[in-house]
């Protein structure tokens, strides 16, 4: 009897959520660069860090469905980041179908569009989605906040049916659209507004809700809330990591050292010297899972030898500058670090499938090496200001050495303001202001 009562309760919850969502459709949202297909006959998965706009992509998809004469009654939206689902079991998923069929017995399930937000929070979700896709509806959209969302088993079972899209906090171009700053103008006042917007973007970051919020205090509260949710809901609860303070300490250490090779061993020794009980495996797990939830990104050293590449110290970058600033409470002395992090994030969101970002370190250094299966596609150096001769020589020498080693002649140096072209025996080196470079690079949907 108790079990039946639980099932009935969750079915009523699903009915309530379906009805509420249908009632509020449509909702107006700012457009994003990534656009989900609406009738691909494939399962659509959207992954990315918490609160970056994955749900918005699905909402925008619904908006386009309504424009294609799909009724709100054909939309099922369930958000699983809800305390009412904390005790939900795999068997309860079928109550979604039962709830909808009881509400709309006249609508065939094959004509229904299912949107499942943060479904990975419920164990066994893959089995339900697989059954739903195979036997009921080919219109399934799923979002989740970790890289392990689609298991190898599900990918195999679906035989290439899922299409995976990745979403990030706002790009600079999207940030300007949210701030009503035109990015296609050529008048001096338009260019000046873009320069000012880039400096704000560098420190504020690109979380949509934060960008739209006017109060500085509320912006920080939102960012702190995001960070705590990642720690407790995504890392502690999902991955069963213990000791929240330890988790926070390791992540803050990695955030502090972004742009430089990070030594887990050094963090371990520091923690041991402070009398903290910890193992190296604990620290490696924290770093790995922080990347799984897209809070951090790991960049390995470029080396033709796979063994040498994987044994060298990696660098870590943070998913959002504003989040890093809020967590670390740093000031403007970090401009150079934020600048390199912003360039990395722009490279990442434009990275085609099958390519990866590395860093080069030999006698000299080059910040980013874009690798393809066939070799190296591009070399990117990042420098806030190249006016000083010593700095200029260091940056140019670094990218030249990387060009010699990799054989790549596609070379770009991203600066804050400078723009010129350097010709030498290695080829053409383009020096481009970041605000202009970001404006012309548009995200590649995946």
Q: Which residues pair with 378 in a beta bridge?
A: 370
* pLDDT for the residue numbered 426: 86
Fold of the 2-166 domain: Rossmann fold (3.40.50)
CA separation, residue 362 to residues 157, 250, 302, 303, 356 (Å): 44, 28, 10, 10, 19
Q: What are the pLDDT digits (tens) for 416-440?
A: 999 999 998 889 999 999 999 998 7
CA distances from 374 to 37, 86, 350, 354, 423 (A): 30, 47, 18, 10, 26
Query: Of 435, 299, 431, whose CA–CA distance to 367 is shortest?
Result: 299
- State the Cα–Cα distance between residues 77 and 19, nearest whole angstrom: 9
Integer-rounded Cα Rg, in Å, for the chain is: 24
Closest C-alpha to 369, from 351, 390, 383, 391: 351
**What proportion of the chain, given as a percentage, has pLDDT over 90?**
81
Mark out the alpha helices in 382-433 (DSSP H runs): 389-406
Q: Which residue has the tokens 């937000």?
A: 117
Query: DSSP code of 414?
Result: E
Cβ–Cβ < 8 Å for 11, 98: yes
Are the beta carbons of 254 and 260 closer than 8 angstroms? no
By the 8 A CB rule, do 223 and 326 touch?
yes
Write out residues in the chain with pLDDT < 70, as ranges.
Answer: 1-8, 150-161, 331-332, 441-446
CA 317 to CA 434: how far, in whole Å? 18
Q: How far apart are the first and last CA of the chain?
A: 47
* Domain ranges, ordered by start, for the chain: 2-166, 173-440
**Pair of tokens at residue 332:** 């403007």
Would you state the pLDDT for residue 1? 42
Residue 333 DSSP code: G
* Cα angle for residues 336, 285, 152 (degrees, 5° grid): 105
CA 388 to chain centre: 35
CA dist 259 and 255 (Å) reads 9
Strand ranges, E, within 21-124 = 44-47, 75-79, 113-117
Please give the pLDDT value at position 446.
37
């Amino acid at each position: 009897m108790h079990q039946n009562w639980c099932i009935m309760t969750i079915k009523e919850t699903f009915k309530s959520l379906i009805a509420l969502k249908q009632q509020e459709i449509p909702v107006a949202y700012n457009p994003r660069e990534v656009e989900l297909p609406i009738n691909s006959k494939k399962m659509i998965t959207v992954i990315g860090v918490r609160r970056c706009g994955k749900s918005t992509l699905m909402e925008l998809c619904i908006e386009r469905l309504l424009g294609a004469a799909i009724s709100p009654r054909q939309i099922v939206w369930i958000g699983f980041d809800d305390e009412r689902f904390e005790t939900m079991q795999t068997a309860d998923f079928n109550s979604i179908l039962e709830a909808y069929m009881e509400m709309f017995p006249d609508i065939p399930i094959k004509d229904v569009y299912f949107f499942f937000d943060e479904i990975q929070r419920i164990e066994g979700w893959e089995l339900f989605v697989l059954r739903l896709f195979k036997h009921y509806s080919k219109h399934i959209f799923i979002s989740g906040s970790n890289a392990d969302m689609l298991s190898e088993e599900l990918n195999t079972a679906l035989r290439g049916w899922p299409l995976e899209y990745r979403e990030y906090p706002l790009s600079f171009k999207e940030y300007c659209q949210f701030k009503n700053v035109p990015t296609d103008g050529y008048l001096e006042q338009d260019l000046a507004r873009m320069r000012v917007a880039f400096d704000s973007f560098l420190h504020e970051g690109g979380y949509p809700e934060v960008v739209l919020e006017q109060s500085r205090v509320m912006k920080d509260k939102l960012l702190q809330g995001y960070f705590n949710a990642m720690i407790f809901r995504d890392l502690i609860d999902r991955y069963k990591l213990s000791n929240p303070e330890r988790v926070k300490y390791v992540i803050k250490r990695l955030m502090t050292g972004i742009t430089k090779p990070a030594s887990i061993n050094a963090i371990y020794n520091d923690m041991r010297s402070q009398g903290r009980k910890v193992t190296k495996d604990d620290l490696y797990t924290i770093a790995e899972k922080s990347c799984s939830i897209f809070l951090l990104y790991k960049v390995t050293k470029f080396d033709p030898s796979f063994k040498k590449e994987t044994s060298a110290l990696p660098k870590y970058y943070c998913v959002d500058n504003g989040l890093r600033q809020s967590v670390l409470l740093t000031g403007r002395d970090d401009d150079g670090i934020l600048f390199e992090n912003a360039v990395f994030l722009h490279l990442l969101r434009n990275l085609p499938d099958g390519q990866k970002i590395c860093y080069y370190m030999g006698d000299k250094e080059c910040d980013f090496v874009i690798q393809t299966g066939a070799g190296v596609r591009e070399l990117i150096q990042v420098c806030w200001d190249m006016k000083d001769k010593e700095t200029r020589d260091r940056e140019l020498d670094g990218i030249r050495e990387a060009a010699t080693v990799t054989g790549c002649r596609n070379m770009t140096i991203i600066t804050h303001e400078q723009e010129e072209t350097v010709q030498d025996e290695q080829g053409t080196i383009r020096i481009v202001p970041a605000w202009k470079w970001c404006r012309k690079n548009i995200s590649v949907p995946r």
